[in-house]
């Protein structure tokens, strides 16, 4: 098949079919879901999530989501569990088993072993009447009418449904715990998302050079200051207070207008109402100001005094953009 229109048609039909299946999941959320969330929330142990095949991949993703939002979770492959990894489960842990059919051989072996040690078990399954469904303490119904695969074989819609159930579980627990953006940053200190939540302007400006001139500084010295500090800008200050700004662009415009540069000073070409931001503000706020005003640098103040410069390149380097 090489017809572009046919490919687009199939892609759209796939997305629409899966979206309808996911939308139907909201009709399947019941008291078992609420009680399962409360069980995990009040548990003093961890959440052990297990599955086989594609369900195991979904289990790993749900584990990652829970861990990153304040609910300790561990992945346990169902096949490995019955060959020694069952020791991962501690007394107060809650176990979640994921299986579309709920009747796979591994699940039939694993479930009785979990029940034997009296751990509470939650099932995410598309078959409430399955072996897994009958032995679980709580069932999170992930039923889908069929796979979007034309042969109704490859796990597609069913794994998407499992993933959405996991997301719903994660968000419910996040809300119950009052998990904030600051909490999120603690769990993601090295990533771009975390940096958006914890990186402050002063963290960047403090390592930059601090270009500054006075209003009476001659143009030659202004050019030297901008060149040496390598930020494409200098603040114009008076008693440590910002009174203006000069950028590379200001210098270029000066060259097109002035015939005699010998008598020019910083005051003659500076912009008098520069954008500025407090050192304690978040770096993402600096980015928003730059984007809104189509500028590449912003001056930084600390308690009303000039404190440095943040350049757009700094934000790119930190992964904020």
Share of the chain above pLDDT 70, in %: 93
pTM above 0.75, yes or no: no
pLDDT tens digits, one per residue of 103-148? 999 899 999 988 888 899 999 999 999 999 999 999 999 999 999 8
pLDDT tens digits, one per residue of 87-99? 889 889 999 999 9
Strand blocks (E) in the chain: 47-51, 73-77, 94-99, 121-125, 138-141, 212-213, 233-238, 241-247, 276-278, 297-302, 305-311
Cβ-based neighbour number of residue 104 at 10 Å: 20
Is residue 191 over pLDDT 80?
Answer: no
Mean pLDDT of 37-49: 95
Share of the chain above pLDDT 90, in %: 69
pLDDT tens digits, one per residue of 283-301? 889 999 999 999 999 999 9
Is residue 17 over pLDDT 90?
Answer: yes
CA distances from 149 to 10, 19, 103, 156 (A): 11, 14, 21, 7
**pLDDT, position 68:** 83
Is residue 257 over pLDDT 70?
Answer: yes
Distance of CA 11 to the CA centre of its chain: 27
pLDDT tens digits, one per residue of 141-169? 999 999 988 888 788 999 999 999 999 99
**pLDDT, position 189:** 54
**pLDDT, position 262:** 78
Least confident of 3-7, 146-150, 248-252, 317-321: 317-321
Cβ atoms 29, 168 nearer than 8 A: yes
Q: Are strands 138-141 and 276-278 parallel, antiparallel or unpaired?
A: unpaired
Mean pLDDT of 240-251: 93
Torsion, Cα 51 52 54 59, to 10 degrees, reads 20
The DSSP H or E segment spanning 161 is helix 157-177
Q: How confident is the model at residue 188 (pLDDT cuts 50, 70, 90)?
A: low
Mean of all residue pLDDT scores within the chain:
90
- Residue 260: CB partners within 8 Å, gap ≥ 6? none
More confident of the two residues 86 and 169: 169
Tokens representing residue 183 in the block: 């909490």
């Amino acid at each position: 098949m090489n017809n572009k229109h046919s490919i687009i048609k199939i892609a759209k039909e796939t997305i629409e079919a899966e979206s309808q299946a996911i939308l139907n999941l909201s009709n399947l959320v019941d008291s078992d879901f609420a009680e399962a969330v409360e069980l995990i929330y009040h548990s003093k142990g961890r959440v052990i999530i297990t599955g086989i095949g594609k369900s195991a991949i979904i289990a790993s993703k749900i584990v990652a989501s829970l861990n990153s939002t304040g609910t300790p979770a561990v992945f346990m492959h169902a096949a490995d569990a019955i060959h020694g990894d069952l020791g991962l489960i501690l007394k107060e842990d809650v176990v979640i088993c994921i299986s579309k059919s709920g009747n796979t051989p591994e699940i039939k072996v694993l479930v009785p072993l979990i029940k034997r040690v009296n751990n509470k078990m939650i099932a995410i399954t598309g078959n409430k009447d399955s072996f897994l469904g009958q032995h679980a303490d709580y069932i999170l119904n992930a039923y889908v009418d069929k796979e979007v695969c034309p042969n109704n074989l490859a796990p597609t819609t069913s794994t998407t449904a499992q993933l959405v159930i996991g997301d719903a579980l994660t968000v419910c627990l996040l809300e119950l715990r009052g998990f904030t953006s600051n909490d999120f940053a603690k769990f993601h200190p090295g990533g771009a998302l975390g940096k958006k939540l914890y990186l402050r302007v002063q963290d960047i400006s403090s390592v930059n050079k601090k270009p500054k001139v006075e209003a009476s500084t001659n143009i030659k010295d202004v050019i030297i200051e901008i060149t040496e500090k390598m930020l494409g800008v200098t603040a114009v200050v008076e008693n440590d207070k910002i009174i203006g700004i000069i950028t590379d662009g200001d210098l270029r415009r000066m060259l097109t207008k002035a015939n005699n540069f010998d008598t020019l000073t910083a005051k003659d070409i500076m912009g008098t109402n520069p954008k500025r931001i407090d050192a304690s503000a978040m770096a993402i706020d600096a980015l928003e100001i730059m984007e809104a005003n189509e500028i590449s640098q912003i001056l930084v103040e600390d308690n009303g005094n000039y404190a440095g410069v943040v350049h757009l390149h700094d934000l790119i380097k930190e992964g904020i953009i």
